Amino acid sequence: MKKLVLNISYIFIIVFLISCSKENIIVSTEGKADYFPMQVGNSWTYSFNDAEWNVQITATKIMGGNLYFVFVRNFGGEIDTTYFRKVENVIYINYLGADYIYIDFNKATGEEWQSYENFYVKINKMNMNVEVAAGNFNNVIEILLENSSVSDLFEFNRYAPNIGLIESIGFRRKSELKFAFVNGILYP
């Protein structure tokens, strides 16, 4: 009987490992709200004036021994790719081959850090209620991203738990989430 239980355990483990692929990896934040959900297939569509733009996680990629998620943004036919990874609710961006902290969701309100290029970032507000086309969201965190060398290059980016970016407000521009498909759930 003991041998049969061990064989069944091994079969279960082998089936589990075979069913897991890099594309199905979901990065967990271990009980904390996930403000930057990463799973291949996640997509977000935003309105911007009379236009739309979207972002989709299309794949994963190993760079420098780290697993990154490939974010492809399409804005009016212009396509760019960004690589992000997450470690304990800290989001890293791979910019020109180097890692920078993009957002540290563990920081307290008002704490600032230097990100890539000349960008400085801080948690601007927490526990906000924000309404956008995709719905009403609670416990939203607002991140302020500023470029120290260009005065009107800033963004207030608002992130909802388990959804991600729902609104971005900058100099003479505003984008808001229209709909999203995140971790198998369609919003709204």
**Which residues have a Cβ under 8 Å from the Cβ of 141 and sit 6 or more positions away?**
35, 105, 123, 125, 126, 128, 158, 159
Under the banding of pLDDT at 50, 70 and 90, the label for residue 13 is very low
SS3 44: strand
Residue 161 backbone zone (phi > 0: left; psi -120 to 50: alpha; other: beta): beta
Distance CA 21, CA 127 (A): 35
* Average pLDDT over every residue of 110-119: 92
SS3 117: coil
**Pairing of β 164-170 and β 154-160:** antiparallel
Q: Is the dihedral of CA 29, 88, 100, 130 positive or negative?
A: positive
**Residue 63 β-bridge partners:** 66
Half-sphere exposure of 8 (CA within 13 A, CB side): 5
Percent of all residues in the chain with a pLDDT value above 70, rounded to a whole number:
83
Q: The tokens of 116 are what?
A: 């890539």
Q: How does pLDDT run across 139-173, given as a tens digit for each residue?
A: 999 999 998 887 778 999 999 999 999 999 998 88
The phi and psi torsions of 178 (rounded to 5 degrees) equal -95, -50
Answer whether residue 177 shows pLDDT above 50. Answer: yes
- Rounded to two decimals, the pTM is 0.81
